[in-house]
Amino acid sequence: MDMLQVENVAKNFTMHLRGGLVLPIIAKVSFAVAAGECVVLGGPSGVGKSSILKMVYGNYGVDAGKIMLIHNGQMADLASADPRQILQMRATTIAYVSQFLRTVPRVSAIDVVAEPLVTGGTEKAKAQDRARQLLARLNLPERLWSLPPATFSGGEQQRVNIARGFITDHKILLLDEPTASLDAKNRAVVVALIAAKKAQGTALLGIFHDEEVRQQVADRIIDVTRFAPDLAA
Ligand SMILES: Nc1ncnc2c1ncn2[C@@H]1O[C@H](COP(=O)(O)OP(=O)(O)OP(=O)(O)O)[C@@H](O)[C@H]1O
Domain CATH for 210: 3.40.50.300
Q: Which atom of ligand 1 is nearest to the CA of 13?
A: 4
The pLDDT assigned to 230 comes to 72
CB 223, CB 43: distance < 8 Å? yes
Instruction: Examine residue 158 and state whether it is found in any structural domain, yes or no.
Output: no
Sheet holding 203-207, edge to edge: 94-97, 172-176, 203-207, 38-42, 220-223
* Residues framing ligand 1 (Cβ under 6 A): 13, 25, 45-51
Which residues make Cβ contacts (< 8 Å) with residue 174, sequence separation at least 6? 53, 56, 57, 94, 95, 96, 97, 204, 205, 206
Quote the longest CA-to-CA distance of the chain. Answer: 58
Q: Which of 49, 63, 223 to mutate to test the pocket of ligand 1 (most atoms within 8 A of CB)?
A: 49
Q: 116 lies in a domain?
A: no
Protein residue whose Cα sits closest to atom 14 of ligand 1: 48
**Residue 103, φ and ψ in degrees, nearest 5:** -85, 145
How many angstroms separate the CA atoms of 131 and 158, rounded? Answer: 14
Q: Which atom of ligand 1 is nearest to the CA of 43?
A: 21
Spatial distance between the Cα atoms of 79 and 64, rounded to a whole number of angstroms: 8
217 C-alpha to ligand 1 centroid (Å):
24
Domain-embedded: residue 58: yes
CA of 78 to the centre of ligand 1 (A): 21
Q: Which residues pair with 15 in a beta bridge?
A: 21
Q: Is 131 within a domain?
A: no
d(CA 202, CA 33): 10
Q: What is the C-alpha to C-alpha distance for residues 37 and 183, in angstroms, rounded to an integer?
A: 25
The answer to whether residue 81 sits within a structural domain is yes
pLDDT score, position 232 = 52
ipTM score over 0.85, yes or no: yes
List the chain pLDDT tens, one digit each, 233 residues.
899 999 999 999 988 888 888 889 999 999 999 999 999 999 999 999 999 999 999 999 999 999 999 999 999 999 999 999 999 999 999 999 988 888 778 899 999 999 999 988 999 999 999 999 999 999 999 999 999 999 999 999 999 999 999 999 999 999 999 998 899 999 999 999 999 999 999 999 999 999 999 999 999 999 999 999 876 54
**Within a domain: residue 32?**
yes
Ligand 1 center to 30 CA (angstroms) = 18
pTM for this entry: 0.94
Name the closest-CA residue to atom 25, ligand 1: 45
Q: Note the pLDDT of residue 25.
A: 92
Distance 48 CA to ligand 1 centre (A): 5
Number of folded domains in the chain? 1
In a domain, 101, yes or no: no
Question: Where in the sequence is the domain holding 82, given as residue range(s)?
Answer: 1-93+172-178+203-233
**Rounded to an integer, what distance in angstroms lies between the CA atom of residue 90 and that of residue 172?**
10
- What's the confidence (pLDDT) of residue 181? 85
Element (H, E) at 150: none
